[in-house]
């Protein structure tokens, strides 16, 4: 039901972004990834390493309002120049808000707004499997996303972790790295981030 697609990276230290397909719905569009006939691409946030691949696809694009605006006008907050990637400016046809559902074939994805790493960050939760597609909100191996970027907000990231900690999550599908299972993972991150 879920397939991972590794992007390419010009900077080995940064690591390539990872995109996923759940049924025919693609989640993020990393550089170098060409999906097999996606019906929709949903962006987890506006950063260029997760969106540049939309330029090679001709299907509807979905995102939250902040990301839709940033991608639609080619905003500097996409960090394309900073990341050395092609400029991205493309219309986002579907704008999602907290709690919206995206229906797949035999599954659903619930939109969870998770600002912190970026103002436009969202996660997609698949309740049927307890899967979380987390973009750059949750990283594997105890790493935290950068909160020093133009639209980052450390306090918002902690609040986003509070929200995610309320979910039953069986498996994480991060925007960088491999999918992983780790019970209580978000709670552990939250304990670290909330330390005085």
* CATH number, position 148: 3.60.15.10
Domain count, the chain: 1
Higher pLDDT, 76 or 11: 76
Token representation of residue 159? 């609040």
Model pLDDT for residues 36-87, shown as the tens digit of each residue: 999 999 999 999 999 999 999 999 999 999 999 999 999 999 999 888 888 8
The secondary structure of residue 176, as a DSSP letter, is: B
Q: Would you state the pLDDT for residue 82?
A: 83
Q: Of the given ranges (9-18, 104-113, 162-171), which has the lowest mean pLDDT?
A: 9-18
Q: Would you state the pLDDT for residue 43?
A: 98
Host domain of residue 12:
2-193
As a whole number of angstroms, the distance between CA 30 and CA 16 comes to 8
What is the three-state SS of 113-156? ECCCCCCCCEEEEECCCCEEEEECCCCCCCCCCCCCCCCCCHHH
Q: Is the model's pLDDT at 194 over the cut of 90?
A: no
As a whole number of angstroms, the distance between CA 186 and CA 174 comes to 13
Span 177-193, mean pLDDT? 94
Contact predicate 156/116, CB 8 Å: yes
As a whole number of angstroms, the distance between CA 42 and CA 37 comes to 14
Model pLDDT for residues 100-113, shown as the tens digit of each residue: 999 999 999 999 99
Q: Is the model's pLDDT at 12 over the cut of 60?
A: no
Residue with tokens 């049924």: 23
Model pLDDT for residues 133-150, shown as the tens digit of each residue: 999 999 999 899 999 899
As a whole number of angstroms, the distance between CA 97 and CA 167 comes to 18
Contact predicate 46/24, CB 8 Å: no
Q: Would you state the pLDDT for residue 177?
A: 92
Please, which residues have CB within 8 angstroms of residue 183's CB and are 6 or more apart in sequence? none
Residue with tokens 């907000």: 153
């Amino acid at each position: 039901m879920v397939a991972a697609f590794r992007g390419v990276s010009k900077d080995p230290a940064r690591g390539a972004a990872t995109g996923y397909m759940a049924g025919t719905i693609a989640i993020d569009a990393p550089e170098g990834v060409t999906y097999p006939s996606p019906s929709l691409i949903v962006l987890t946030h506006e950063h260029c390493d997760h969106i540049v691949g939309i330029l090679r696809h001709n299907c509807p694009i979905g995102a939250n309002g902040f990301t839709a605006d940033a991608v639609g006008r080619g905003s500097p907050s996409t960090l394309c120049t900073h990341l050395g990637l092609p400029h991205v400016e493309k219309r986002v046809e579907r704008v999602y808000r907290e709690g919206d559902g995206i229906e797949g074939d035999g599954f659903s994805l619930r939109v969870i707004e998770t600002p912190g790493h970026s103002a436009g960050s969202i996660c997609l939760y698949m309740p049927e499997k307890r899967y979380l597609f987390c973009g750059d909100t949750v990283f594997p191996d105890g790493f935290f996303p950068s909160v020093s970027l133009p639209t980052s907000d450390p306090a918002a990231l902690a609040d986003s972790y509070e929200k995610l900690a309320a979910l039953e999550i069986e498996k994480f599908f991060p925007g960088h790295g491999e999918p992983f299972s780790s019970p209580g993972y978000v709670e552990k991150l939250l304990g670290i981030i909330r330390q005085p």
